[in-house]
């Protein structure tokens, strides 16, 4: 399946570093995510995307990997991004539970999560719906739930990243890999 409706040209041959990265994805995930294939028409854009993703989603943070994936899903639900709801819903199912993944995809407010995680998702969703309305009181709610200012930065950065990627995925009709649908069910 073509990852986008734009039929973007593939770089051929892929640079060795990119080929190695795609091979690693295939080995670990059983696929090369279509988001990477979509960006691979321009290696500089792919490298920028993966560097930002790796920093936000995999680097050390006060947020767990699951919490970062939860933000990705809650933001993607606001934006109705089919690609990210399917892909990151699968990640939440794998890292958390199938029930959590499904609840977050449909309505994070019904999910069985801690008050701390609810505050985190409330902030990410508020940021997605109307970022100009975020005030100090909103950040203080997060502090009251134990988040540091560095954690608040990470929550905002993850939410901002998925707001951007949701818009890209929708704009170019990026489709999730079929493999995501059956994962961790």
How far is CA 180 from each of CA 6, 32, 34, 73, 116, rounded to the nearest angstrom?
22, 11, 11, 14, 28
Q: Which two tokens stand for residue 48?
A: 């920028």
Predicted confidence (pLDDT) per residue in 133-172, tens digit = 999 999 999 999 999 999 999 999 999 999 999 999 999 9
The highest-level CATH class for domain 16-58 is mainly alpha
Lowest mean pLDDT among 22-31, 61-70, 134-143: 22-31
SS3 labels along 17-76: HHHHHHHHHHHHHCCCCHHHHHHCCCHHHHHHHHHHHHHHHHCCCCCCHHHHHHHHHHHH
pLDDT at 7: 67
* 65-171 belongs to CATH 2.60.40.10: no
pLDDT band at residue 4, thresholds of 50, 70 and 90?
Answer: low
Give the dihedral sign, CA 59/61/67/68. negative
pTM higher than 0.85, yes or no?
yes
Q: Give domain limits for the chain.
A: 16-58, 65-171
């Amino acid at each position: 399946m073509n990852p986008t409706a734009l039929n973007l040209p593939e770089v051929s041959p892929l640079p060795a570093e990119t080929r190695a990265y795609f091979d690693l994805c295939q080995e670990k995930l059983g696929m090369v995510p279509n988001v990477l294939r979509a960006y691979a028409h321009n290696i500089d854009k792919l490298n920028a995307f993966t560097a930002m993703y790796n920093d936000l989603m995999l680097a050390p943070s006060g947020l767990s990997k699951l919490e970062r994936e939860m933000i990705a899903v809650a933001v993607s639900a606001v934006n109705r991004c089919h690609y990210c709801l399917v892909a990151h819903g699968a990640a939440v199912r794998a890292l958390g539970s199938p029930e959590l993944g499904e609840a977050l995809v449909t309505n994070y407010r019904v999910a069985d999560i801690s008050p701390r995680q609810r505050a985190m998702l409330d902030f990410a969703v508020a940021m997605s719906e109307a970022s100009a309305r975020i005030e100090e009181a909103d950040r203080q709610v997060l502090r009251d739930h134990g988040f540091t200012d560095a954690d608040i930065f990470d929550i905002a950065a993850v939410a901002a990243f998925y707001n951007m990627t949701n818009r890209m995925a929708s704009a170019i009709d990026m489709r999730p890999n079929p493999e995501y649908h059956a994962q961790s069910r």
